[in-house]
Amino acid sequence: MKIRTLLILANTISLIVILVFLTISYVQMFLSPNIILLLSLITLGAGILSFAVNLMITSPLLKSVKQMSKEAERMAKGDFDVKVTEAGPQEIKELAANFNHMSTRIEEMFDELRESEKFKSELIANVSHDLRTPLSSIHSFVAALNDNIIEEPQTRRRYYETILSETEKLSQLIEEVLEFSQLENRKLAWNPQLAPIDKLLVETIQQFERVLQEKHVEVKVEYDDHLPLVSLMPVQIKRVMTNLIQNALSFSPNQTTLDIRAVKDGGMMKFSVADEGKGIPLEEQASIFQRFYRVEKSRNKASGGSGLGLSICKEIVDLHGGEIGVESDGKSGSTFWFRLPLEMSKEERR
């Protein structure tokens, strides 16, 4: 039975009961029949008026309930972009506001779920693509060595080096996927410690000594001696530095210069790497930190990476409550940078 029907029935029963008891009271008062009729008509009119006023007052309530019922039915069918009018008495307004908040929250949750499913599909597609090339290379070289068709020691050594190189690429790709998954799902524990930036910087640059010599790239380092210890996770921040320097080297021509800076910038520590490469197109700079995004669209060995490196950097910097970005005129040279707060409360960290 509908609410409106229940209200009408309740009002009708109340009106009948009132009329019966008033009529009995009038009779017991020994009033004349005309007076009793008049009072009964007045009572009936008052009851009808009360009935009409009751319907008029409850009509908006019923309208709100009906609207929420209709929108809830839409939600049940999978449409979560619903809103109800927040009108009427305070309780109805609060109910409508809570309903709208619930629908918004459910929509956000399903958007996150769809985004997660999309990410899984992209992950499978991209990783499958990136795994195919090194695996094919390893297979062909191992098959050649296994068949003993390579007799020259120098050629065999080159084959072994290629297999080792491709294996390292596979290992790096798997490590990036696992690390990004941890960061994406917020499974990486927040365990900061006070660390000197200069030590991390030296350790990071030392990893590239051989590559720098091979490409004849000069490194210029500017470090702020007044930079205090920074609360951070050393392994993760070193990973960010490594990735940014690696990217800069990958796109830097031979016999050029890398400018690396670690300075105090207000209440932040700013790290930056500037190269003399071909630059980042202006229209792509807003997308460069998205997962699987590549400025270099080809997936060749020279410049095609997994597309996760900069995304991992962004997740790590975000975890530290910092920010990351790139500056380039789109024609020559790029400067990748990130900033970390020198002091950060728990509330400021995401």
Q: Kindly give the confidence (pLDDT) of every residue in the chain, 350 residues in length, as a single tens digit, with 9 standing for 90 and above.
A: 566 666 667 777 777 777 777 777 767 776 677 776 777 777 778 777 777 777 676 777 777 777 777 777 777 777 777 777 777 667 777 777 887 888 888 877 777 777 767 666 666 666 666 677 678 778 887 887 787 777 788 888 888 888 887 787 777 677 767 666 666 666 667 788 899 999 999 999 988 888 888 899 999 999 988 888 899 989 889 989 988 998 898 888 999 999 999 999 888 999 999 999 888 888 888 888 876 665 554 434 444 455 677 888 888 898 889 999 999 988 888 999 999 998 754 444 44
CA gap 163, 135 in Å, rounded = 9
| H or E stretch covering 339 | strand 334-341
Q: Any idea what DSSP says for residue 252?
A: P
CA gap 199, 311 in Å, rounded = 25
Nearest to 197 by CA among 289, 268, 274: 268
What is the crossing angle of helices 33-76 and 3-28, to 10°? 170
CA gap 127, 107 in Å, rounded = 30
